[in-house]
Homo-oligomer: A and B are copies of this chain.
Amino acid sequence: MTLMTPDQLERSLRDIGARRYHNLHPFHHMLHRGQCSKGQVQAWALNRYYYQAMIPLKDASLIGRCDDADIRREWRHRLADHDGENAGDGGIARWLKLTDGLGLDRDYVTSTRGLLPGTRFAVEAYVHFVRDRTLLEAIASSLTELFSPVIINERVAGMLANYAFVTKETLAYFDKRPPQAQRDSDFALDYVKRHATTLETQQAVLAALEFKCSVLWAMLDALYYSYVAPKHIPPGAFDPDKASAS
């Protein structure tokens, strides 16, 4: 391991995405190729809801231990993006339009009663990571957004083409995300390139991005295991074949 220039560090970060981002996961392939049943798409949306719902908490905890007002102001955009200006606005509300459109009961979704334990543990690992690690690592862990415009485009085009039960309105969440992710990841990447200037901090930011990739990956592992094969749904989790799921 040798000290990298900022541009070499960026290449190493992008290389992690090329090898570990969840667009490489078999569940993602199934989802956008139209190979999922409606129940599998419901399970994905219901579990992913918890990730969306926890994002403002992790962002607020990052702001809450940052002593630079410029960064706090910049990072505050993320709170507004997810929580909106009023009830019914913002990314979380748009995600609930997706779960509505898929026929899931909104109270059931927001209660997280049907969540897979694997989803809960992965999402909470991310929240704890951002709360407990250095500010630099916390910012670096957001860099999966460098790769998200690609996955979102694949997902939206694939889902619209392949599922009669998915409409452009129910996918409204994804319309807004690519420009937000672009702006946010530009800022975070610039911050990381300017502040990770020692061997130790460069290794730490690479590890932070690997960690975050493993969070997204483990969420799809849990979905695949429970709803695709061997289709062994953990006790108490959402079961598309049971009325108790709504």
Contacts and interface: CB of A to CB of B under 8 A. Distances in A.
Contacts of A116: 218
Contacts of A215: 117, 121
B210 A236 contact: yes
B235 A19 contact: yes
Contact of A222 (B118, B120, B125, B213): B118
Given A221-B234, A222-B221, A122 B128 contact: no
A124 B125 CA distance: 7
A232 B224 CA distance: 10
Nearest to A237: B214
A26 interface: yes
Interface string A209-246: 01001110110011011101110101110000000000
| Number of identical monomers bound together in the oligomeric complex | 2
A20 interface: yes
**Residue among A117, A120, A122, A232 with max Cβ neighbours from chain B (10 Å):** A117
Contacts of A230: 26, 224, 228-229
Contacts of A232: 26, 221, 224
Interchain residue pairs A-B with the least CB separation, the first 3:
A117-B214, A225-B225, A121-B121
Interface of A: 19-20, 26, 116-118, 120-122, 124-125, 128, 210, 213-215, 217-218, 221-222, 224-226, 228-230, 232, 234-236
20 contacts: A26-B232, A117-B214, A117-B217, A118-B118, A118-B122, A118-B221, A121-B121, A121-B122, A121-B124, A121-B125, A121-B218, A125-B125, A214-B234, A218-B222, A218-B234, A221-B222, A221-B225, A221-B226, A221-B234, A224-B225
